[in-house]
Structure 1
Amino acid sequence: MARTRYAALAAAVALTAVTGCGAADMTRQASPYAAAEGSRTVTLSVQSWVGAQANVAVAQYLLEHELGYRVDTVQIDEVPAWDALSQGRVDAILEDWGHPDQEKRYIDDKGTIERGGDLGVTGHIGWFVPTYFAEQHPDVTDWKNLNKYAEAFRTAESGGKGQLMDGSPSYVTNDKALVDSLGLDYQVVFAGSEAAQITQIKQFAKEQKPFLTYWYKPQWLFEKVPMTEVKLPAYKEGCDADPEKVACAYPHTPLQKFFNARFAEGGGDAAAFLKRFRWTTDMQNDVALMIAEQKLSPQEAAGRWVKDNESTWRAWLPS
Structure 2
Amino acid sequence: MKKVLRFAAASTALVLFGIGSATARADCETDEVIKIANMTWASAATLAHIESQILQTGYDCQTQLIPGDTVPTATTMAAKGQPHIAPEFWMANAEEIVREGVESGMITIAGEVVQGGSVQGWWIPKYLSEAYPDLKSVHDLPKYKHLFPDANDPEKGRIYNCPPGWGCEIVNTNLFKAYELGSSYVNYSPGSGAALDATIASAYKRKKPWLGYYWGPSSILGKYDMVRLATNPHDPVLDACNREAECENPHAGGFNSSQVNTLVISALKDQAPSVYAFLSKVSFDPTVYNELLAWGDDNKAEPAQVAEYFLKNYPHLWQGWVSDEAADKIRAALL
What TM bracket, shorter-length normalisation? Answer: 0.7 to 0.9
C-alpha distance in 2 between matches for 1:73 and 1:189? 35
Q: Which amino acid aligns with 1:57?
A: H
The aligned runs of 1:199-278 (5 Å cut-off) are 199-243=198-242, 244=247, 245-278=250-283
Asked whether 1:301 is paired with 2:303, we answer no
Partner of 1:181: 178
2:148 aligned to 130, 133, 153, which one? 153
> Following TM superposition, by how much is the alpha carbon of 1:214 offset from its aligned partner in structure 2, in angstroms?
0.7
> Following TM superposition, by how much is the alpha carbon of 1:172 offset from its aligned partner in structure 2, in angstroms?
1.2
Partner of 2:42: 50
SS at match of 2:241: coil
Partner of 2:107: 113
1:316 aligned to 296, 302, 321, which one? 321
8 A Cα contact 1:158 1:188, kept in partner: no
> Following TM superposition, by how much is the alpha carbon of 1:158 offset from its aligned partner in structure 2, in angstroms?
7.0
Partner of 2:295: 290
Q: Which amino acid aligns with 1:135?
A: E
Structure 2, unaligned runs of 5 or more: 1-9, 11-23, 325-335
C-alpha distance in 1 between matches for 2:289 and 2:319? 17
C-alpha distance in 1 between matches for 2:207 and 2:320? 45
SS at match of 1:139: coil
Asked whether 1:134 is paired with 2:129, we answer yes
> Following TM superposition, by how much is the alpha carbon of 1:60 offset from its aligned partner in structure 2, in angstroms?
1.7
> Following TM superposition, by how much is the alpha carbon of 1:202 offset from its aligned partner in structure 2, in angstroms?
0.9
C-alpha distance in 1 between matches for 2:217 and 2:195? 19
> Following TM superposition, by how much is the alpha carbon of 1:146 offset from its aligned partner in structure 2, in angstroms?
0.8
1:44-101 superposed Cα distances (whole Å, 9 cap, x missing partner): 1133332223322221221122112232223323222212322233111122222322
Q: Which amino acid aligns with 1:181?
A: A
Partner of 1:30: none
Q: Which amino acid aligns with 1:82?
A: A
Larger strand proportion of the pair: 1
8 A Cα contact 2:107 2:263, kept in partner: yes
1:285–1:54 Cα change, 3 Å: farther
C-alpha distance in 1 between matches for 2:49 and 2:238? 36
C-alpha distance in 1 between matches for 2:284 and 2:60? 22
Partner of 2:17: none
Asked whether 1:90 is paired with 2:87, we answer no
Q: Which amino acid aligns with 1:39?
A: D
Percent of aligned pairs with the same amino acid: 20
Normalised by the length of structure 1, the TM-score is 0.78
RMSD: 2.9
2:285 aligned to 263, 268, 280, which one? 280
1:104 aligned to 99, 104, 111, which one? 99
1:156–1:80 Cα change, 3 Å: farther
SS at match of 1:235: coil
Larger helix proportion of the pair: 2
193-202 or 247-256, which moves further after superposition? 247-256
Runs of 4+ in 1 over 6 A off after TM superposition: 157-160
C-alpha distance in 2 between matches for 1:247 and 1:257? 32
1:41–1:75 Cα change, 3 Å: same
